[in-house]
């Protein structure tokens, strides 16, 4: 009987042996940091991850772009989000949750790109050519992020020749040591963008193995087209013209003969972020097709033609581009006009337009027209024989260089409406966003977004650097 | 012990004999039964006051005693409240004894039991009598207002939602805030949001949904360090032990049948504009601002009325229990069917329990406790979600109708047609859960018991969602299956002995290993050819197919020792060492301990217990530590996350910052308590505590410029200090009339002592919980940080706010925010009055909370003047029109119409309330009738009302009990549009066979 006394404590003691091994559990959904750039497949995955971030709602998933359109008065935003309404009404405050999220997602793209740029050349077995291409792609995406950030959070170059504050420049891979970068000047940010794009031009191929990839991944042409745009935004016209000509000279970009090019990955497209039914930036808050379609078609019915845009089209109502609309019930329960540029509200597979040939031509025309006091014939030809003709509009007679610029800007507005350009097109031409509100006038406090209060709180470098008026 | 019993018996016998000699006596016969079970009680001591006469009830609960015709008889029994009865010439007396809830009861503590009298732990126990037959959606609700220091907030009136529970102010900021729930020794998996898709709110499916209240014997809330240290790394949010019923060794098998049925309505709803008011208001607003007035439809619809209905509940509970010297059993079955008062919200619950114990020999015992359950819910959206019935009904423009002219549903757009959703869609969650344990215990020799206990908690949450063509063109569906399966083993050695008569010693030594695997599987598709194809597989386009697996493991060693000398001086020490997979290699193991001491003054020789004022007095103190491991699965590893794809190629992106030093959050707690019995009727428990949490697990915010949002770190300290009073007063305990008051109140002051550098406008470090609420150094963890709203200027008609210096402004900025309130209450508690008169019983339970603020984000919408895209509150009709007007809203052409709705203290209300939570009236059928029936041993009918009355902030239209953020510690008292608490009436019957 007595032996039993010892069995249990013995068993007990045996079970006490270390369970250390059982506590060594590793995540199954994530990869540990250290191994990512040790392997060409995962290193490439890290680059793809950066592209994936650009699809996000707050990057090129329509949110920054719809701000450009409703502040530019192409769009009337009827959506329910008070924080977005506040932006439209020039009444946002620095704790605005949408602005905060937008800022965050841009820096996530930048951080992802920084990781690739800093580490890709250390990856074993990756060829130099591959590493260079990946670096170029990451540089292009980083430039795109800084370009969009500076447009939203900083006054345009024209307000104070770029000496005003833009956004913090973060260019190094974050490995755990927190830095507290202050805002750099717009000129400094622009210089960095130009530097990245110039390098990308050198590093990137002009095309890939398929049309989709050529239009959906960063290329030499895309880098040049973005360079043309940033130089135009800086009134550096000669450089803008040169970049535009270089891009066109590649020979794979053509003005589409009609307006059936959306989502086509045709010669019209220079760079579009490629979405699909299973991979897109739509969230419960919105998305391209979600904003721009009435509920009956599966959208939110939030973003409709503004009366100003309708009036602009009504001046020449035979404009083919005016036919790309439909009437539907919007969020306010009333009938409004919707664009049909993003028709797939059911699966949200519409691509996000970033750079396309028409815009490149309009950029070239504007830069040409602005760079001479006489009427520039090439610019006039682009206006009348390419842009207006395709839209079924008669050639416009132009009597001065200023008139030419104005005419080009009207075409630019109508052509690129709902693609996010108009706010910057107004501001960089020293025009007001609204006539009745000093906050919305050129250089007005509320024409740009507040630096998120959250980052001012966390980052001592931003202390005292809030945009005036917020 | 045997010797003592013999002495008692001999003396009783002598006394009885003696009493015969006195004469002039009458013989009184009668019986004694338990108030709750109606069962007869054996072994009740009956003594004649002022004499030494006495007897005990026999096996059937009958007694016979001789006394003077006007004598007083004292009925007393261990675990019951004594009753003093006047004989008044009667020869037949039937007595009903109430279970004592007080100092004589046995306490369930971690890995064991203790007598409350000699325990040094601070725990609150809630027994079955406090919650039996209540139509409660979840067992946690039983804790509301019942236990001092436990703050329980119902998250909403939606069925199956999780309640928020904070014990002694909680102990964490970013870390999970749920207490540890332990059912019969099995810690439950509680992963909240990991179990189902979010539907607009972070309130999750209730972890205790599958446990019917009728199977529960008691709840024990462990509060002080000496009680929780034995749960180590998981104890600091408090531990709630749930003990289920088992049989009774001395009684014959009993069958209990309980039925109830009830109806419910919402307690409070906001008043929104109807169509003509809305159009009228819009027109006036647009005209005032020289804007075009569109042509409005002439239709109208009352959405709120359409989504609210009369809720219904039906519950059937059957149980059988019994036992003998070698066996104990309890079998329970429960079926509940409930329709919430909001359309689309229904729940069906079915569960069964089997608890069994068998003595294999005089030394070896085996047992099993097992519960299987099935819950089938029709879910609805909640809070910030325009698919949520209540939110959509508030926001839907009232000229929008759910039907077209042909009576067909229409798609109303972003503010969804919730009637169509309910009617046509599928939104179901089925929860299957089985929890149980089996054990073998062996008395190795006298005093030493070894026990090996093996437990499982297997839960599966299976959700199915389908949205039809009308609402999601092409159709949309998902199926989401989440399982969380745990097993654990706990092996203990228990030793207790008494040596030298006066030294009582007991010790516990234990080891446990626990591991669990969470698996989440989702399949999602769209593109359906017909609404008649409900399943994901019929969709043409698969959107996502996901599988995620998360494991954790915990290995623990623990020990406890108790010693007391003559039951006067009490000592307890406990220690636990935990190793957890959740922490970095450098901090994997943590040790937690507690020391406690007590002194029962009333057991001292100098203390005369026979006075009328103070019969029992105990002082106790404890100090010790506990931790919190509630920070996810692998928070210390730097990672890239998959699923970041582009153009069909798989991608990864950075997802987590590495921190190998990530470790335990530790809470050290000092507790000082006094227990006393006063005036023979009053049980009083007073506790003071000081909890100091260090190495707080914080999601330290990183500048977004790093590309990361935050990282888990151990930084910061926080204090909770408080005072608790629990009181039970047996005011009257007579044969035909008894009156008991239970009262408890808990004060808590939460102060954040230090945080990582992250300064606000005043140079104080803070951690934001939400945009409006933050933990601020030197202030509460739940401080509301907002611009102060100052009202409408009667002259200008502009809305005004205060800037940070207190000056009026019409354009405040974020820098004008100040602390305007806090989400945590200063004190909360409850009071229950229970009365019994003859066969009637009555009880009224009030609970209260004072000193907390509540924030209604929904006002950001319903007070929005400028938007024509959703409905508005009736409040806005009170707008400024003429100079001198005292108005709610600004003039329609004021510049402040753009900012009136913005987040400010205008959306903040006083959250204090006093609520008549429950009132019951019951009638027990007389024993004489039941005896005739020969079937029933007991029968009681009752009516019950819940939430019938509330005293709250008079500016508040909605319900004060809100908590849209589930078990978050960092955000409490915030809601978007909450489904209010239910006001309900129930009738029921309890039958004993």
Give the pLDDT confidence of B175-202 residue by residue, as tens digits.
Answer: 777 889 999 989 988 877 778 777 766 5
Q: Give the gap in angstroms from C-alpha B123 to the nearest C-alpha of chain A.
A: 30
Domains of chain A as residue ranges with CATH: 36-176+183-204+433-460 (1.25.40.390), 252-272+304-341+356-429 (1.25.40.900)
Digit-coded pLDDT (tens) for B277-319: 999 999 999 999 988 899 999 999 999 999 999 999 999 999 9
Contact B650 A216 (CB under 8 A): no
What whole-number distance in Å separates Cα of residue B170 and Cα of residue B236? 7
Given CB atoms, is A14 within the 8 Å cutoff of chain B? no
Do the strands B92-97 and B26-34 form a parallel or antiparallel pair, or are they unpaired?
Answer: parallel
pLDDT over 60 (residue B878): yes
The pLDDT assigned to A308 comes to 94
Which band of pLDDT confidence, cut at 50, 70 and 90, is reported for residue A436? confident
Digit-coded pLDDT (tens) for A113-135: 999 999 999 999 899 999 999 99
What whole-number distance in Å separates Cα of residue A77 and Cα of residue A304? 7
Contact A48 B650 (CB under 8 A): yes
Give the helix/strand (H/E) hosting B393.
Answer: helix B389-395
Instruction: Give the pLDDT mean for A94-110.
Output: 94
Angle of helix A63-71 relative to helix A128-153, nearest 10 degrees, comes to 40
pLDDT over 70 (residue B367): yes
What whole-number distance in Å separates Cα of residue B13 and Cα of residue A464? 91
Instruction: Give the pLDDT mean for B953-959.
Output: 89
CB B945 within 8 A of CB B985: yes
What whole-number distance in Å separates Cα of residue B600 and Cα of residue A212? 83
The pLDDT assigned to A20 comes to 64
Please give the mean pLDDT across all residues of chain A. 92
Facing B414 at nearest CB: one of A22, A307, A331 = A331
Digit-coded pLDDT (tens) for B146-165: 888 888 777 666 777 777 78
CB B260 within 8 A of CB B315: yes
Contact B706 A23 (CB under 8 A): no
List the Cα angle B385/B387/B391 in 5-degree steps: 60
B-chain residues near A8 (CB < 8 A): 442, 444, 450, 493
Query: Concatenated DSSP letters for B813-880?
Result: -GGG-EEEEESS-SEEEEEEEEEEETTEEEEEEEEEEES-EEEETTHHHHT-SS-SSS--BGGGGSB-
Digit-coded pLDDT (tens) for A397-409: 999 999 999 999 9
Q: How many CB pairs under 8 A join A and B?
A: 303
| Fold of the B2-97 domain | Immunoglobulin-like (2.60.40)
CB A427 within 8 A of CB A448: no
B-chain residues near A82 (CB < 8 A): 860-861, 864, 867, 901-902
Facing A95 at nearest CB: one of B548, B551, B771 = B771
The pLDDT assigned to B37 comes to 65
- Alpha-carbon distances of B120 from B117, B317, B530, B603, rounded to whole Å: 9, 37, 66, 15
The pLDDT assigned to A25 comes to 79
Facing A36 at nearest CB: one of B543, B637, B652 = B652
Do the strands B180-183 and B239-244 form a parallel or antiparallel pair, or are they unpaired?
Answer: parallel
Digit-coded pLDDT (tens) for A25-50: 777 777 777 788 999 999 999 999 99
The torsion defined by the Cα of B657, B661, B664 and B667, in degrees rounded to 10, comes to: -110
What whole-number distance in Å separates Cα of residue B395 and Cα of residue B112? 53
> B208, B231, B248: which is closest to B37 by C-alpha?
B248
Please give the mean pLDDT across all residues of chain B. 87
- Three-class DSSP category at B445: strand
The pLDDT assigned to B639 comes to 81
> B200, B418, B398, B416: which is closest to B978 by C-alpha?
B200
Which band of pLDDT confidence, cut at 50, 70 and 90, is reported for residue A4? low
List the Cα angle B739/B744/B747 in 5-degree steps: 160
The pLDDT assigned to B8 comes to 41
Contact B473 A345 (CB under 8 A): yes
Facing B553 at nearest CB: one of A23, A33, A114 = A23
pLDDT over 60 (residue A3): no
Contact B412 A295 (CB under 8 A): yes
Digit-coded pLDDT (tens) for A216-272: 999 999 999 999 999 999 999 999 999 999 999 999 999 999 888 888 899 999 999
Which band of pLDDT confidence, cut at 50, 70 and 90, is reported for residue B250? low
A-chain residues near B472 (CB < 8 A): 298, 346
Contact A176 B866 (CB under 8 A): no
What whole-number distance in Å separates Cα of residue A90 and Cα of residue B293? 22
Which band of pLDDT confidence, cut at 50, 70 and 90, is reported for residue A9? low
Instruction: Give the pLDDT mean for B552-570.
Output: 91
Instruction: Give the pLDDT mean for B398-411.
Output: 91
- Three-class DSSP category at B500: coil
> B262, B241, B252, B256: which is closest to B353 by C-alpha?
B256
Helices (DSSP H) in A164-234: which residue ranges? Answer: 186-203, 211-216, 220-233
> B682, B899, B695, B699: which is closest to B790 by C-alpha?
B899
pLDDT over 60 (residue B21): no
**Which residues of A, range 173-212, sit inside 8 Å of B by Cβ?**
174, 176, 178-181, 212
- With 0-12 / 13-18 / 19 or more C-beta atoms within 10 angstroms meaning exposed / middle / buried, residue B537 is exposed
What whole-number distance in Å separates Cα of residue A68 and Cα of residue A418? 9
The pLDDT assigned to A431 comes to 96
- Three-class DSSP category at A285: coil
Helices (DSSP H) in A255-323: which residue ranges? Answer: 288-292, 307-314
Digit-coded pLDDT (tens) for B82-138: 787 888 888 888 888 876 655 556 788 888 888 888 888 888 888 777 776 666 666
Strand order of the sheet with strand B808-809? B788-792, B799-802, B808-809
DSSP B961: -
Cβ-count burial B872-883 (b if 16+ within 10 Å, e if not): bbbbbbebbeee
Tokens matching residue A77: 């935003």
Given CB atoms, is A110 within the 8 Å cutoff of chain B? yes
CB B574 within 8 A of CB B624: yes
pLDDT over 60 (residue B427): yes
Which band of pLDDT confidence, cut at 50, 70 and 90, is reported for residue A412? very high
Tokens matching residue B678: 């006063």
For a pLDDT cut of 70, what percent of chain B falls above it?
94
In sequence order, which residues have a C-beta less than 8 Å from that of residue B416 and are 6 or more positions away?
A: B386, B387, B392, B471
The pLDDT assigned to A261 comes to 83
pLDDT over 90 (residue A340): yes
In sequence order, which residues have a C-beta less than 8 Å from that of residue B417 and are 6 or more positions away?
A: B392, B402, B409, B410, B411, B470, B471
CB B220 within 8 A of CB B228: no
Q: Parse chain B into domains and list their residue ranges.
A: 2-97
What whole-number distance in Å separates Cα of residue B874 and Cα of residue B386? 20
φ, ψ for residue B867 (rounded to 5)? -75, 140
The pLDDT assigned to B19 comes to 38
A-chain residues near B551 (CB < 8 A): 25
List the Cα angle A327/A345/A423 in 5-degree steps: 70
What whole-number distance in Å separates Cα of residue A148 and Cα of residue B614? 77
The pLDDT assigned to B238 comes to 87
Contact A112 B653 (CB under 8 A): yes
Weakest mean pLDDT among A154-158, A266-270, B205-209, B873-877: B205-209
Residue B254, strand partner residues: B321
Instruction: Give the pLDDT mean for B743-764.
Output: 92
Name the residue in chain A with its Cα closest to that of B761: A457
What whole-number distance in Å separates Cα of residue A23 and Cα of residue A27? 12
B-chain residues near A296 (CB < 8 A): 411, 473
Which band of pLDDT confidence, cut at 50, 70 and 90, is reported for residue B818? very high
Which band of pLDDT confidence, cut at 50, 70 and 90, is reported for residue B12? very low
Contact A181 B705 (CB under 8 A): yes
List the Cα angle A94/A99/A100 in 5-degree steps: 80
> B436, B440, B394, B442: which is closest to B418 by C-alpha?
B394
Tokens matching residue B738: 């008894």
Q: Give the gap in angstroms from C-alpha A301 to the nearest C-alpha of chain B.
A: 7
Tokens matching residue B374: 């099935």
Residue written as token pair 């965050």: A104
Query: Concatenated DSSP letters for A160-177?
Result: HTT-SEEEE---S---S-
pLDDT over 60 (residue B831): yes
Which band of pLDDT confidence, cut at 50, 70 and 90, is reported for residue B20? very low
Residue written as token pair 């013209």: A241
ipTM of the complex: 0.91
Digit-coded pLDDT (tens) for A171-216: 999 887 888 999 999 999 999 999 999 999 999 999 999 999 999 9
Contact A80 B415 (CB under 8 A): yes
Digit-coded pLDDT (tens) for B479-492: 999 999 999 999 99
- Report chain A's terminal Cα–Cα distance, integer Å: 84
Digit-coded pLDDT (tens) for B865-877: 998 889 999 999 9
- Alpha-carbon distances of A40 from A47, A200, B638, rounded to whole Å: 11, 21, 19
CB B261 within 8 A of CB B234: no
pLDDT over 80 (residue A462): yes
A-chain residues near B386 (CB < 8 A): 80
**Which residues of A, range 49-88, sit inside 8 Å of B by Cβ?**
49-53, 55, 78-80, 82, 85-86
Helix, strand, coil percentages (3-state) for chain A, rounded to 5, are: 50, 10, 40
What whole-number distance in Å separates Cα of residue B417 and Cα of residue B795? 42
pLDDT over 70 (residue B23): no
What whole-number distance in Å separates Cα of residue B777 and Cα of residue B646? 44
pLDDT over 50 (residue B987): yes
- Three-class DSSP category at A151: helix
- Report chain B's terminal Cα–Cα distance, integer Å: 36
> B48, B183, B14: which is closest to B108 by C-alpha?
B183
What whole-number distance in Å separates Cα of residue B908 and Cα of residue A356? 49
Which band of pLDDT confidence, cut at 50, 70 and 90, is reported for residue B13? very low
What whole-number distance in Å separates Cα of residue B761 and Cα of residue B709? 21
What whole-number distance in Å separates Cα of residue B74 and Cα of residue B62? 15
The three-state DSSP-derived secondary structure of B37-83 is CCCECCCCEEEECCCCCEEECCCCCEEEEEECCCCEEEEECCCECCE
The pLDDT assigned to B71 comes to 83
CB B936 within 8 A of CB B930: yes
Give the helix/strand (H/E) hosting A135.
Answer: helix A128-153
The pLDDT assigned to A208 comes to 95
B710 or B900, which is more confident? B900
The pLDDT assigned to B167 comes to 87
């Amino acid at each position: 009987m007595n032996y039993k006394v010892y069995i249990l404590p013995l068993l007990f003691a045996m079970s006490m042996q270390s369970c250390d091994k059982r506590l060594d559990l590793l995540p199954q959904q994530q990869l540990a940091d250290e191994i990512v750039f040790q392997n060409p497949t995962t290193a490439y995955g890290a680059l793809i991850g950066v592209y994936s971030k650009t699809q996000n709602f707050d990057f090129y998933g329509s949110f920054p772009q719809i701000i450009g359109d409703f502040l530019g008065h192409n769009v009337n935003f009827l959506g329910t989000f008070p924080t977005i309404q506040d932006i439209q009404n020039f009444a946002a405050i620095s704790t605005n949750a949408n602005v905060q999220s937008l800022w965050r997602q841009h820096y996530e793209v930048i951080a992802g790109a920084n990781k690739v740029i800093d580490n890709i050349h250390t990856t074993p077995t990756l060829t130099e050519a591959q590493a260079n291409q990946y670096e170029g792609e990451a540089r292009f995406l980083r430039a795109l992020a800084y370009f969009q950030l500076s447009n939203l959070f900083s006054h345009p170059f024209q307000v104070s020749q770029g000496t005003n504050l833009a956004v913090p420049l973060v260019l190094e891979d974050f490995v755990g040591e927190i830095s507290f970068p202050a805002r750099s000047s717009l000129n400094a940010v622009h210089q960095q963008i130009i530097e990245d794009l110039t390098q990308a031009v050198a590093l990137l191929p002009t095309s890939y193995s398929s049309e989709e990839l050529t239009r959906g991944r960063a290329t030499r042409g895309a880098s040049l087209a973005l360079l043309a745009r940033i130089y135009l935004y800086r009134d550096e016209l000669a450089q803008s013209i040169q970049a535009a000509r270089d891009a066109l000279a590649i020979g794979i970009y053509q003005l589409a003969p009609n307006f059936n090019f959306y989502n086509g990955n045709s010669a019209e497209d220079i760079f579009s972020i490629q979405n699909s039914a299973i991979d897109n930036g739509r969230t419960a808050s919105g998305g391209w097709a979600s904003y721009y379609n009435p509920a009956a078609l599966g959208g939110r019915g939030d973003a409709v033609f503004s009366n100003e845009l309708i009036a602009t089209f009504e001046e020449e109502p035979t404009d083919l581009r005016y036919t790309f609309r439909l009437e539907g019930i919007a969020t306010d329960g009333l009938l409004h006009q919707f664009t049909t540029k993003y028709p797939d509200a059911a699966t949200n597979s519409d691509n996000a337009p970033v750079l396309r040939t028409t815009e490149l031509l309009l950029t070239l025309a504007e830069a040409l027209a602005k760079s001479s006091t006489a009427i520039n014939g090439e610019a006039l030809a682009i206006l009348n024989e390419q842009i207006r003709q395709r839209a079924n509009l008669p050639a416009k007679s132009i009597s001065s260089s200023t008139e030419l610029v104005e005419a080009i800007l009207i075409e630019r507005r109508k052509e690129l409406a709902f693609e996010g350009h108009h706010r910057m097109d107004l501001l960089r031409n020293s025009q007001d966003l609204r006539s009745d509100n000093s906050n919305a006038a050129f250089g007005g406090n509320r024409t740009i977004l507040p630096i998120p209060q959250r980052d001012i709180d966390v980052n001592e470098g931003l202390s005292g650097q809030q945009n005036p008026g917020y | 012990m045997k010797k003592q019993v013999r002495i008692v018996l001999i003396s009783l016998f002598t006394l009885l004999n003696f009493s015969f000699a006195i004469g002039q006596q009458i013989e009184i016969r009668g019986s004694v039964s338990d108030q709750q079970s109606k069962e007869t009680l054996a072994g009740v001591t009956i003594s004649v006051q002022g004499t030494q006469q006495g007897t005990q009830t026999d096996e059937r609960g009958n007694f016979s005693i001789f006394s003077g015709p006007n004598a007083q008889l004292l009925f007393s029994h261990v675990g019951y409240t004594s009753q003093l009865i006047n004989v008044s010439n009667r020869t037949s007396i039937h007595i009903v004894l109430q279970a004592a809830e007080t100092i004589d009861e046995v306490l369930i503590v971690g890995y064991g039991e203790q007598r409350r009298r000699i325990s040094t732990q601070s725990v609150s126990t809630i027994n079955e009598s406090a919650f039996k037959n209540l139509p409660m959606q979840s067992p946690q609700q039983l804790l509301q207002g019942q236990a001092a220091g436990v703050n329980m907030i119902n998250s909403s009136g939606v069925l199956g939602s999780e309640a928020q529970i904070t014990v002694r102010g909680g102990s964490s900021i970013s870390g999970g805030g749920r207490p540890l729930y332990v059912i019969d020794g099995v810690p439950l998996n509680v992963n909240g949001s990991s179990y189902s898709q979010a539907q607009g709110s972070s309130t999750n499916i209730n972890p205790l949904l599958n446990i019917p209240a009728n199977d529960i014997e008691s709840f024990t809330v462990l509060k002080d360090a000496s009680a929780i240290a034995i749960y180590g790394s998981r104890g600091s949010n408090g531990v709630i032990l749930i003990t289920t019923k088992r049989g009774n060794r001395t009684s014959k098998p009993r069958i209990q049948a309980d039925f109830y049925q009830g109806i419910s309505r919402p307690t409070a709803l906001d008043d929104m504009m109807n169509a003509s008011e809305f159009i009228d208001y819009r027109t006036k607003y647009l005209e005032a601002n020289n804007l075009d007035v569109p042509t409005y439809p002439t239709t109208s619809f009352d959405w709120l009325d359409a989504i609210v209905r009369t809720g219904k509940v039906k519950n059937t509970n059957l149980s059988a229990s019994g036992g003998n010297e070698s066996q104990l059993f309890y079998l329970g079955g429960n079926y509940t069917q409930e329709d919430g008062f909001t359309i689309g919200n229904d729940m069906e619950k079915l569960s069964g329990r089997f608890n069994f114990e068998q003595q294999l020999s005089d030394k070896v015992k085996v047992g099993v406790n097992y519960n299987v359950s099935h819950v089938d819910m029709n879910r609805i959206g909640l809070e910030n979600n325009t698919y949520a019935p209540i939110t959509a009904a508030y926001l839907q423009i009232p000229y929008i109708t759910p039907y077209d002219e042909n009576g067909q549903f229409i798609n109303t757009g972003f503010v969804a047609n919730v009637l169509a959703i309910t009617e046509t869609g599928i939104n179901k969650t089925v929860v299957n859960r089985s929890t149980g344990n089996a054990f073998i215990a062996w008395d190795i020799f006298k005093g030493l018991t070894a026990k090996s206990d093996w437990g499982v908690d297997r839960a599966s949450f299976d959700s199915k969602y389908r949205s039809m063509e009308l609402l999601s063109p092409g159709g949309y569906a998902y199926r989401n299956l989440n399982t969380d399966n745990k097993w654990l083993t706990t092996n203990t050695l228990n030793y207790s002995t008494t040596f030298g008569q006066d030294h009582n010693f007991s010790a516990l030594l234990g080891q446990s290993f626990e591991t669990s695997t969470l698996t989440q599987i989702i399949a999602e598709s769209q593109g359906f050819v017909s609404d008649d194809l409900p399943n994901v597989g019929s969709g043409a386009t698969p959107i996502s197919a996901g599988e995620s697996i998360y494991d954790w493991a915990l290995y623990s060693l623990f020990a406890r020792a108790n010693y007391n000398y003559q039951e006067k001086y009490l000592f307890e020490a406990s220690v636990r060492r935990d190793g957890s997979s959740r922490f970095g290699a450098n901090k994997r193991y943590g040790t937690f301990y507690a020391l406690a001491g007590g002194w029962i003054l009333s057991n001292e020789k100098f203390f005369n217990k026979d006075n009328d004022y103070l019969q029992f007095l105990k002082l106790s103190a404890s100090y010790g530590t506990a931790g919190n491991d509630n920070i996810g699965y692998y928070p210390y590893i730097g990672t890239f996350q998959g699923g970041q794809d582009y153009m069909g190629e798989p991608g990864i992106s950075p997802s987590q910052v590495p921190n190998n030093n990530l470790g335990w959050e530790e809470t050290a707690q000092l507790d000082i308590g006094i227990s006393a019995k006063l005036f023979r009727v009053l049980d009083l428990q007073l506790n003071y505590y000081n909890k100091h949490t260090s190495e707080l697990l914080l999601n330290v915010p990183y500048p977004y410029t790093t590309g990361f949002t935050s990282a888990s770190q151990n930084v910061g300290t926080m204090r909770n200090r408080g005072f608790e009073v629990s009181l039970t007063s047996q005011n009257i305990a007579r044969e035909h009339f008894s009156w008991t008051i239970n009262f408890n109140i808990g004060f808590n002051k939460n102060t954040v002592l230090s945080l990582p550098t992250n300064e606000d406008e005043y140079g104080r470090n803070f951690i934001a919980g939400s945009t409006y609420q933050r933990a601020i150094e030197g202030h509460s963890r739940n401080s509301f940080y907002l611009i102060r709203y100052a009202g409408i200027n009667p002259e200008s008609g502009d809305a005004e706010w205060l800037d940070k210096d207190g000056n009026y402004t019409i354009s405040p900025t974020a820098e004008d925010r100040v602390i305007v309130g806090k989400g945590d209450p200063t004190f909360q508690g409850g009071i229950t009055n229970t009365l019994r008169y003859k066969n009637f019983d009555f009880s009224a339970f009030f609970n209260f909370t004072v000193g907390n603020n509540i924030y209604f984000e929904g006002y950001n919408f319903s007070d929005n003047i400028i938007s024509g895209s959703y409905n508005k509150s009736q409040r806005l009709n009170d707008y400024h029109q003429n100079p001198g007007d005292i108005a709610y809203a600004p003039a329609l052409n004021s510049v402040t119409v753009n900012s009136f709705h913005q987040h400010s203290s205008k959306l903040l209300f006083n959250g204090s309330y006093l609520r008549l939570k429950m009132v019951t009236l019951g009638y027990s059928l007389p024993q004489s009738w039941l005896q005739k029936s020969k079937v029933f041993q007991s029968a009681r009918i009752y009516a019950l009302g819940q939430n019938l009355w509330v005293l709250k902030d008079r500016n508040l239209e909605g319900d004060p009990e809100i908590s849209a953020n589930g078990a978050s510690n960092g955000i409490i008292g915030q809601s978007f549009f909450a489904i209010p608490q239910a006001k309900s009436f129930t009738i029921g019957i309890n039958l004993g066979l």
